[in-house]
Amino acid sequence: MISELTVTPVTDEQIQHFDDFGYLVVEDALPEQKVAELLSVIGRLKDELAASQHRKDVFGLDIRPIVTEDDLFLDLMEWEATFPLAVRLLQHFNLQLTTSHLIMVPPNPDQRNIGWHSDGGSPRIGVNGVRAMTSLKVGYFLTDLLESNMGSLMVVPGSHRLQGDPVFLEGARDPVGAVELKIKAGTAVIFQQGVWHAGAPNYSDQTRVVLYYGYGYRLYRPIDYDTMPESLLERCSPIGRQLLGHKATHLGYYIPTDADCPLKAWYRDRFGETWRR
């Protein structure tokens, strides 16, 4: 049983902010010590990861999945300061980890890491051009991003409700309403896949380091794995195994029984039976 003191509250204000703006900032999600440990593991693995087949061909280091690379990354999948928020915001227990993603963006005067887009794959699933929320990502920022143009995450608040693309004024680098998040190391940002976002250019002299964990309904396929190694599943909690694809019954992703989703009892304990029908 988790003691009341360690349970992360999820407030109505947080839910409302996420609904209205499509994202939510969680300060101090990771203590300094955890940030240091993660940076140290990333430093140790960097060269090996740079040669990985799972590297995206960009100027920085972009690797997914990352939970397979060290158990410190695996631990973040159920991180108490953020995971309950992710579950509550998706408002269901039939969830999986869709992706786990390390992105390092070194200084670059010429290119940004990634331009404006919304996540969610192809085809876009929505109604009358407005995307349905099918997933969200929790980003853990491991370096300070307190000035402009340090490679931070940019978002257009509220753009998950737009029909079509955001508006770019002629010659503008960023769309109307774009903001660059100024955040301290250890901050997490949760955003839903429909919100338009981009990486800011990094004109600083520091490499920007972020870890993203995607969560979505098990009705969809994960982004960056088909199955996880049995040896990894054995090291997980029952909820962790669910998140990484374990099911107990044949139709378990579609019509989940309690045995398919240990997250259901957990959800009921924390939030009552408030899940989507």
What is 161-172 written as a DSSP string?
A: G-SSPPP--TT-
User: Residue 51 is inside which H or E element, if any?
Assistant: none
Residues that contact Fe ion, how many (by CB under 5 A): 1
x/- track of binding to Fe ion for residues 71-110 (CB under 5 A): ----------------------------------------
User: Residue 216 is inside which H or E element, if any?
Assistant: strand 208-217
Residue type, 61: L
**Cα 103 to Cα 64: distance, rounded to the nearest angstrom:** 9
Q: Does 62 bind Fe ion (CB under 5 A)?
A: no
- Kindly state the smallest distance separating residue 153's Cβ from Fe ion, in Å: 9
Q: Is the CB of residue 119 less than 8 Å from the CB of residue 136?
A: no
- Kindly state the smallest distance separating residue 197's Cβ from ligand AKG, in Å: 5
Q: Is the CB of residue 228 less than 8 Å from the CB of residue 162?
A: no
Q: Which is nearer to ligand AKG, 114 or 179 (CB)?
A: 114
- Rounded to whole angstroms, what are the CA distances from 185 to 7, 8, 105, 194, 197? 22, 20, 15, 25, 20
Q: Which is nearer to ligand AKG, 39 or 233 (CB)?
A: 39
Binding-site partner at residue 103 among Fe ion, ligand AKG, none, CB < 5 to 8 Å by type: ligand AKG
Residues of this chain that bind ligand AKG (CB under 6 A): 103, 113-114, 119, 153, 197, 199, 210
One residue of 119, 174, 180, 260 binding Fe ion per CB under 5 A: 119
Residue closest to Fe ion, measured at CB: 119
Binding-site partner at residue 67 among ligand AKG, Fe ion, none, CB < 5 to 8 Å by type: none
Q: Which is nearer to ligand AKG, 151 or 240 (CB)?
A: 151
Binding-site partner at residue 10 among Fe ion, ligand AKG, none, CB < 5 to 8 Å by type: none
- Kindly state the smallest distance separating residue 191's Cβ from Fe ion, in Å: 9
Q: Which is nearer to Fe ion, 64 or 264 (CB)?
A: 64
Q: Which is nearer to ligand AKG, 199 or 262 (CB)?
A: 199
Binding-site partner at residue 260 among Fe ion, ligand AKG, none, CB < 5 to 8 Å by type: none
Residue owning tokens 């340090």: 150
- Kindly state the smallest distance separating residue 111's Cβ from Fe ion, in Å: 16
Residue closest to ligand AKG, measured at CB: 199
Q: Is 172 exposed, middle or buried (0-12, 13-18, 19+ CB in 10 A)?
A: exposed
Question: CA triplet 49, 84, 245: central angle to 5 degrees?
Answer: 55
3-class DSSP state of 116: coil
Tokens of residue 222, six digits: 């994960």
Q: What is the DSSP letter of 200?
A: P
- Kindly state the smallest distance separating residue 199's Cβ from Fe ion, in Å: 9
CB atoms within 10 A of CB 53: 5
Tokens of residue 200, six digits: 């800011």
**Interface contacts to Fe ion, rule CB under 5 A:** 119
